């Protein structure tokens, strides 16, 4: 956790958008993934239809939806941060509903019973799911929003 608070020359505190800070940190760290949590399932084609979730988007599609006011309110800083991260070299940007238990872990490893060890990056993830052996370096299959 990183607090997104800035301090001015006069000592005054400023609240900085946490999504923007997260994107900048992910770019600086050359992260493979960045995950933004919210209280909705993501971006919907039709705001009234929860089954109209958009699972993949291009930058052009995002810009079009923002222009048409199909993406609005608090989702604009999140989707803008996704674009900033992707354009800065982060491999995947995810927008996830943080009210669902274990949503981040399930996004990384969505199939049952396993453990992932990536020798190249030296990280270990306890997957509630099995690793897809057909993917390079034994990485878990993912289903994120790719922008």
- Give the residue ranges of the chain where pLDDT is below 50: 113, 115-147
Asked whether residue 111 is assigned to any structural domain, the reply reads: yes
Asked whether residue 145 is assigned to any structural domain, the reply reads: no
What CATH number should be reported for the domain holding residue 27? Answer: 3.40.1160.10
CA–CA dist 72, 31 (Å, integer): 27
Asked whether residue 60 is assigned to any structural domain, the reply reads: yes
Asked whether residue 32 is assigned to any structural domain, the reply reads: yes
58 neighbors 79 (Cβ within 8 angstroms): no
Taking the whole predicted model, whether its pTM rises above 0.85 is answered as: no
The gap between the terminal CA atoms of the chain, to the nearest Å, is: 24
What domain range is 120 assigned to?
A: 5-138
Asked whether residue 144 is assigned to any structural domain, the reply reads: no
Query: How many distinct structural domains can be found in the chain?
Result: 1
pLDDT tens-digit series, residues 114-124:
544 444 444 44
For position 21, what pLDDT does the model report? Answer: 94
Among candidate residues 64, 2, 73, 83, the one with its CA nearest the CA of residue 38 = 73
């Amino acid at each position: 956790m990183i607090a997104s608070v800035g301090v001015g020359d006069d000592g005054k505190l400023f609240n900085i958008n946490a999504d923007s800070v997260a994107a900048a940190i992910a770019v600086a760290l050359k992260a493979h993934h960045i995950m933004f949590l919210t209280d909705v399932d993501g971006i919907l084609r039709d705001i009234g239809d929860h089954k109209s979730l958009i699972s993949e988007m291009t930058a052009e599609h995002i810009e079009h939806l923002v222009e048409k006011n199909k993406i609005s309110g608090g989702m604009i800083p999140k989707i803008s941060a996704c674009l900033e991260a992707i354009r800065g070299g982060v491999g995947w940007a995810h927008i996830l509903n943080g009210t669902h238990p274990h949503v981040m872990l399930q996004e990384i490893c969505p199939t049952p019973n396993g453990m992932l060890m990536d020798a190249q990056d030296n990280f270990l993830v306890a997957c509630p799911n099995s690793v897809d052996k057909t993917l390079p370096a034994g990485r878990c299959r993912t289903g994120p929003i790719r922008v």
